[in-house]
Every structure is written in structure tokens, then in C-alpha cells.
Structure 1
Amino acid sequence: MPRLNRLTSDTAVGASRDLLADLEARHGRPGDMVATMANSPAVLGGYLQLSRAMGRAKLDRAISERISIAVQAHQGCGLCLDAHTAAARARGVDDEEIERARRGTSADPAIAAIIALALRIHREPTSITDEQVGALREYGYSDRAIADVVGVVALNVLTGSFNLLAGLTPGSDPDA
């Protein structure tokens, strides 16, 4: 059962109303997370800006989705985990690799290394070593792609934490 109200451009006020109206005009009805984030214009605006910025990330989207799966499996947001699993499948990631991502790894050593970095960023960023970053460079990751991992993790922490606080779970949409 959701803990926070879902808003629309008719029920939201101020900046949230404007953001939702713009989203509704461009994309139709926003999903539960976005509509619920509208309770805080700062959170909704920040999420939208970070989400757009990460759309320009250098990191390959299939890898980014595996990172998201690993982070969400650790964080425990079922709604995000379902969404990222579907997105990974749409990017051609097979079920075995999706299961590996849930466990925080990959059959591909280069992908396993960048997932490991993402989980360290999420769990214990002070434990990141020069050797770990150097190994990523040896696998061919640019500094930009390595830096993008922080954005992917941050976006997942924001969305997963928000959904868990708000009580949004798979199937919790009252209009579904």
C-alpha cells in the first residue's frame, strides 16, 4: 500500500504542477514513482534532471542496466528491479546475465569489474582502490565511463530509496 499520495497536474501545486503538466503533455500519464515524487518539487526536479543527464552517459546502456539490477538487488526495490530487468532484456541481456547481475557479477570479466565498482560506490566508497580503477582502464573503460558509474548508482539510490519510502511496489498502482 503506497504511503504517499500520487499527484497529477490537477492536484499538484507550484513547480510540481508545472513539471507534471509538462510531462503529461509530452508523454501522457506519468508512472507512480514520478507522480508520487511530485509531493516534493525538489525531489521530482532533481530526479528529472539527473535522469536526463544520465541519458547522455558514455557507459553502454546494457552495462548500465546490469549495474542498476545489481544495485537494486542490494537495495531491495522490487519496482526498480523489475523495471531494470525489463530494460536489460530489451537491450538483449539474457536471463543468465540478468541473474548474474542480481548477484553482482557477470560472465564477462570487464562487466563484472564495473559492476563490482558500482557496488563498492553504493556500499563502501572509501574502499575503492587505484588498482580497481586501473583495472577498469585496462578493460578499455574511459574515465568518462568510469565516472558515469557514480551517476548510475546515484540515480538508483534516489529512485529505489524513494520507492521504498513511498511504499511503491510492483502492482501497487491503484489505477492499474
Structure 2
Amino acid sequence: MPRLTRLTPDTAVGASRDLLAELASRHGRLGDMVSTMAHSPAVLGGYLQLSRAMGRAKLDRKVSERISIAVQTQQGCGLCLDAHISAARALGVDEDEIDRAREGTSADPAIAAIVALALQVYREPTSITDEQIDALREHGFGDRAIADVAGVVALNILTGSFNLLAGLTPGGDRDA
């Protein structure tokens, strides 16, 4: 059961009203998460900016979705996990790789290494080593892709923790 109410462009005020009106005009409908985030224009605006920025990430979307699956499995946001599994499937990630992502790994050593890094960024970033970053470079990841991992993790922390706080669960709109 949601803990916070959804807002609409008619019920929101100030900056949140403007943000929701813009989203509604572009997309036609508003999902549960953004409608609920509108209680805080700072949170909604920050989410929208980070989400747009990460849309320009260097990481391949299939890799990014596997990172998101791994992080959301740890964080426990069912709404986000379902959304990222659905996105991974739409991108052609097979079920075995989705299962591996839920376990924090991959059959591909390069993807396994970057997913492992993402989980370290999520759980204990102080444990990241120079050797680990060098190994990612040997797998072909450049500094930009490696840096993008922090953004993907941050976006997942924001959406997952917000959905858990707000009591948003699978079965409603999926805009995580």
C-alpha cells in the first residue's frame, strides 16, 4: 500500500506542478514513481536530471540493465527490479544472463567484472582497488564507462530507496 499519495499537475504546486505538466505533455501519462516524487521538487528534479544524463552514458544499455538488476536485487525494490528485468529482456538479454545479473555476475568475464564493481560501489566503495580498475581497462572499459558505473548505481539507489520509502510495489505503473 503506498505511503505517499500521487500528485498530478492539478494537485501539485510550484516547481513540481511545472515538472509534472511537462512530463504529462511529453509522455501522455505519469507513472506512480514520478507522481509520488512530486512531493519534493528537489527529488523529482534531481531524478529527472540524473536519468536524462545517464541516458547519455557510455556503458552499453545491456550492461547498464544488468548492473541495475544486480543493484536492485540487493536493494530490494521489486518495482525497480521488475522494470529493469523487463528492459533487459526488451534489449535481448537472455534469461540465463538475467539470472546471473540477479546473482551479481555474468558468463562474460568483462560484464561480470563491471557488475562486481557496481555492487562494490553500492555496498563498500572503499574496497575498490587500483588493480580492479586496471582489470576493467584490460577488459576494454574506458574511464568514461567506469565512471558511468557510479551514475548507474546512484540512479538505482535513488529510485529504489524512494520507491521503498513511498511504499510503491510491482503491479502498478512501472516507471522506475
So what's the TM-score if we normalise by structure 2?
0.97
1:140 is aligned to 140
User: Is there any run of 5+ residues in structure 2 with no aligned partner, and where?
Assistant: none
The CA distance in 2 between the partners of 1:170 and 1:125, in whole Å, is 29
Is 1:17 the counterpart of 2:12 in the alignment?
Answer: no
Aligned residue number for residue 44 of structure 2: 44
Cα RMSD of the aligned pairs, angstroms, is 0.6
Question: 1:110 is matched with which residue?
Answer: 110
Count of residue pairs brought into register by the alignment? 173
Q: 1:134-165: CA deviations, max 9, x gaps?
A: 00000000100000000000000000000000
| Counterparts of 1:34 and 1:62, CA distance in 2 | 24
Kept after mapping to 2: 8 A contact 1:2/1:172: no
1:70 counterpart residue number? 70
Counterpart in 1 of 2:84?
A: 84
Q: How far apart, in 2, do the equivalents of 1:132 and 1:30 lie?
A: 41
For residues 44-101 of structure 1, give each alpha carbon's deviation from its aligned partner in whole angstroms, at most 9, with x where no partner exists.
0000000000000000000000000000000000000000000000111000000000
What is the rounded CA distance, in whole Å, between the counterparts of 2:110 and 2:75 in structure 1?
23
How far apart in 2 are the matches of 1:28 and 1:164? Answer: 25
Distance 2:136 2:60 in 1: 14
Residue in structure 2 matched with residue 59 of structure 1 by the alignment:
59
The one-letter amino acid of 1:116's match is: A
Residue equivalent to 1:98 = 98
Query: Which consecutive aligned stretches of 4+ in structure 1 deviate over 3 angstroms post-superposition?
Result: none
| Cα shift at 1:108 | 0.3
- Cα distance in structure 2, aligned partners of 1:78 and 1:28: 25
Question: 2:111 corresponds to which letter in structure 1?
Answer: I
Looking at structure 1, the residues matched to 85 and 157 of structure 2 have their Cα atoms a distance apart, in angstroms, of: 16
Q: Which amino acid aligns with 1:128?
A: I
Give per-residue Cα distances to partners, 1:4-43, cap 9 Å, x unaligned: 0100000000000000000000101111000000000000
What is the rounded CA distance, in whole Å, between the counterparts of 2:52 and 2:4 in structure 1? 24
Secondary structure of the structure 1 residue equivalent to 2:117: helix
**Percent of counterpart pairs with the same letter?**
82
Contact persistence 1:3–1:166 (CA under 8 A):
yes
Match of 2:162 in 1: 162
